[in-house]
Amino acid sequence: MASDLNTVVRVHHTGPPDVLCVETLPVPQPQKGEVLLRQEAIGVNFIDTYFRSGLYPFPALPAIPGNEGAGVVEKVGEGVQHLQPGMRVAYAGVLGAYARYRTIAADRLVVLPDTIPFDIAAAVTLRGLTAHMLLRQVYHVRAGQDILVYAPAGGVGQLICQWARRLGARVIGVTSTEEKAAIAKACGATDVVIGTSDLPARIRDLTDGKMVPVVYDSIGRDTFETSLNCLAPRGLMVSYGNASGPVTGVSIGTLSAHGSLYLTRPSLTTYIADRKELEASAQELFAMVEQGVLKPEIGQRFLLKEAEQAHRALESRRTTGSTILTV
């Protein structure tokens, strides 16, 4: 280790992007069951903005945000058997990522195949595990089905399009600009609708009146009702994000009124809580990357110390693909 000092980004109180402060702290020591990780690339995910803004609570403040990273095991703590210094690893869903060095529970790390560079790992681990959860676990997407996907040019969205195409499904994307529509199509979306004002009518046209069996809605407040109107009877509404704000005040009667719908609000944390499930999902994901089914696009790269700009870019709806920080 070159020095005992660590560069981190911390928040002391939640709020707008300028609450992200670049600081120097001592390098932490791994405790029992932990490793010290030297991070090479860090994922910036929309969920990081929810923690920073206060929508989701940090366990305590000050806190180091970020939920995804990739790097090299520097030291192992007592009792860690399956990892050794020098191994290449990645993780998703563990707060504390915005740092050069971090400690982390060893059982949250997955070993990275040599073919996957650190920057790609930071672009695809959390977002790809999310796509896997949505298409393979929350709902089993099958060949020939029409599925509706919001933000199809985004980090998770591009991976959903690529994976769903491999499954033989027809993806109808909903986005905000022609440029993003072209990106979504290049990723496998069959049709892309711009804007949501007449979305249910557009879906009716595109599906010959059948509507869709599943909607993947990452937008939340602004689109919840519209999404219900795009579903076929007994369809599944998957509300998995809050890019426009959280969905509140839903009466369950609305599910009956829209045709006996199902509703789920999945969180990746639950789907990778079990170590065996995490490993199996990560293996499937990395195989998809190695086979070229998934081609993670790093649309934006920032330095760790530029985390504030990365958040501004993501929240301003200007980004495409994944956003990462390099160290």
Distances (CA, A) of 289 to 219, 258, 286, 296: 26, 38, 5, 8
Shortest spacing between CB 287 and ligand NDP, in angstroms: 20
Which position has the token pair 């990892």?
Answer: 83
Size of site (CB under 6 A) for ligand NDP? 29
The residue number with the shortest CB distance to ligand NDP is 241
Whether 152 contacts 184, CB under 8 Å: yes
Contacts (CB under 6 A) with ligand NDP, residues 270-309? none
Contacts (CB under 6 A) with ligand NDP, residues 149-178? 151, 153-157, 175-176
Contacts (CB under 6 A) with ligand NDP, residues 251-270? 266-268
For ligand NDP, give the closer residue by CB, 48 or 74.
48
Distance (Å, whole) CA 26 – CA 305: 17
Distances (CA, A) of 111 to 39, 114, 251, 285: 14, 9, 44, 12
Which tokens sit at 299?
A: 């649309």
Contacts (CB under 6 A) with ligand NDP, residues 108-147? 126-127, 130
Site string for ligand NDP, 203-222 (x = CB under 6 A): ---------------xx---
For ligand NDP, give the closer residue by CB, 81 or 197.
197
Residues 6+ apart with CB under 8 A from 323: 43, 44, 45, 155, 298, 299, 300, 301, 302, 310, 313, 314
Shortest spacing between CB 134 and ligand NDP, in angstroms: 8
- Residue 45 binds ligand NDP, judged by CB under 6 A: yes
Q: What residues line the site for ligand NDP (CB under 6 A)?
A: 45-47, 126-127, 130, 151, 153-157, 175-176, 180, 218-219, 240-244, 266-268, 314-315, 317, 319
